[in-house]
Structures are given as C-alpha cells and as structure tokens.
Amino acid sequence: MLDQVLIFVIGIIVSAFGTLVGFGGGIFMVPILIIFFQYSIENAIGATLASLLPASLISSFFNYREKNIDYLVATLIQVPAIAGTITGAFLVAFMPVLEMQFFFAFFVIALSIYLLSTRKSPAQSPKKSTMYRLRRMPTTFIRRNRHKKVAYRLNGGIIGLFGYLSGCIAGLFGVGGGFLQTPFMIRVFRMPPQIATSTSLFILIITSFSGLVSHYLLGHVIWLKTMPLMAAFAIGAAYGKVLRHRRTKLPGTEIMIGVGLFLAGIGLILNILIRSNYFQQLVK
C-alpha cells in the first residue's frame, strides 16, 4: 500500500514536469518503477504507456482550447516516424545496439549541456547562421498562428527527415523520441516554446496509444498496478498546465528543457543497464 502511495506522488511530479517540457515523462518513470518498486521491464513500460495516454489527452485538450497545437508539424513528424520505427526495429539485428545506446545517451546529456550553456550567448547574425540557411531550403513555408499572433518559418523536408530519424531511435533503442522533438522545434525552427511543447504532447497521444495497445495485447499491462499511476499522471498533467500559466514562479522553458534532457540522458543510461544481462542476473 505504501508503494502505491509513493508511486502516485512520484507520478504526479513526473507528469507535471513532463507537461511543462513537452516530454510526457515516460523516460523518467520507467527506470523509477523498475529500480525502486521492482516492476518487471515489460510491466513498467506497459504501465507508463497507459499513464501517458490520459496525461497527453488532458494536456492536449487544454492546448487545443488555447490554440497552441501545430497540427501540420505534428503530422509531418509523426507519419515518417512510423516508418522510422519499423526501420529501427529491423536494424536491431544488424547493429551493435548496446554501444550505440550508450553513445546516444551521452549525446543527449551533451545536448542538454549545450542548451543550458548557450541560452544567453550572443545571437549570431541571422543570415550567417546554419539554422537560417536550413529554414530557407526548398520545401520551406511560413506558419502563422493568428490566435497567438506569431509566425515562424518551417522546412517540410527537414521536419519529415527528423520525424523519420526520431522513429528510428524509438525502434532501435526502445525509447520514445518525444524528448528530442521539443528542443528541435524550438532551436531549429524557432517555434514559440509553448507551441512546441503543446505539439509534442499532442504527438504523444498517438505514440502512447499505439504502445499501450501493443503492450496490452502482449499481457504487459496489469490494471491493478496501472490505474493509480494513470490517475497520478492525469492529475500531474492538469497541475502542469496550472504551473505553466504561473510562469513568474518557474524558470525559463529552455532551462527546464535542458534539465529535462539531462535527466532523460541519465534515464537512458539506467534503461540500458536495466536491460543488460548483469542487471537481470543481479535481480535474480
């Protein structure tokens, strides 16, 4: 009973933070359930995916009302991501996955340090920057959010390529690519942080639902253990929206994303160690 109370409280915290940064929080919750609460890998993933669905639905409902979701960007990322996931799952049989997983985890940590260290650096001349050139390649167009009175330049080809690569990461490493989507949208295409995080959480509806169905059919979702965590994530998502509206009491979005990426990198390393033979033997 004490374990369920602790999981409930931790779930609220993780979901609220995930709502603020647009990651969802799954990459943090899985290793917590395995290491501290002795969940099996399969049950931890199944419970987390089930919990992400109501959380992402609640967040997206509020974001829909506030006109913060860019549905075109979500489609351009998610459709090729499906093909990328299949490719990544296929490549598992041909590539040194363990070494690549560690490399990718340290890459995510390095990216977090880069984001935190460059957020106040002097801006480069726009016409000389690489990002400026990327945003003006063929298949470039301008998106306008009339409700928020903002506009930003996008490149359909690069967004599609990123969606495919994030899908490959998901299939190859067994993790979601959501923690990369938000910083990509903010840094590369200068999307407003609120629209980027809202769009990423909307994409999470599709990925969490498909993952939940798959793990449910495989028997990895134990509802007695999962329902409290689902309730916690739903409450955390609503609380995260309240916190977002009180921005004077919170650090900047890019700071939270940088911290979130650092924690995601640590979570990746923990996931790799958990899946290793040494950890399995230690548990037994």
pLDDT digits (tens, 9 = 90+) for 235-253: 999 998 888 776 555 667 7
Q: What is the mean pLDDT of the chain?
A: 82
Q: Which of 10-19, 109-118, 143-152 has the highest mean pLDDT?
A: 10-19
C-alpha dihedral, 245 to 247 to 252 to 254, nearest 10°: 0
Q: What is the mean pLDDT of residues 126-138?
A: 60
pLDDT at 231 > cutoff 90: yes
| Closest residue by Cα to residue 50 from 202, 218, 219, 226 | 226
pLDDT value for 35: 82
Count how many Cα atoms sit within 13 Å of the Cα of residue 60 in the half-sphere of its side chain: 20
**What pTM was computed for the model?**
0.82
pLDDT value for 123: 47
pLDDT value for 146: 86
Q: For the chain, state the CA radius of gyration.
A: 19
Q: What is the mean pLDDT of residues 89-106?
A: 76
Q: Which residue has the tokens 């998610």?
A: 78
pLDDT value for 7: 93
User: Is residue 56 very low, low, confident or very high in pLDDT (cuts 50, 70, 90)?
Assistant: very high
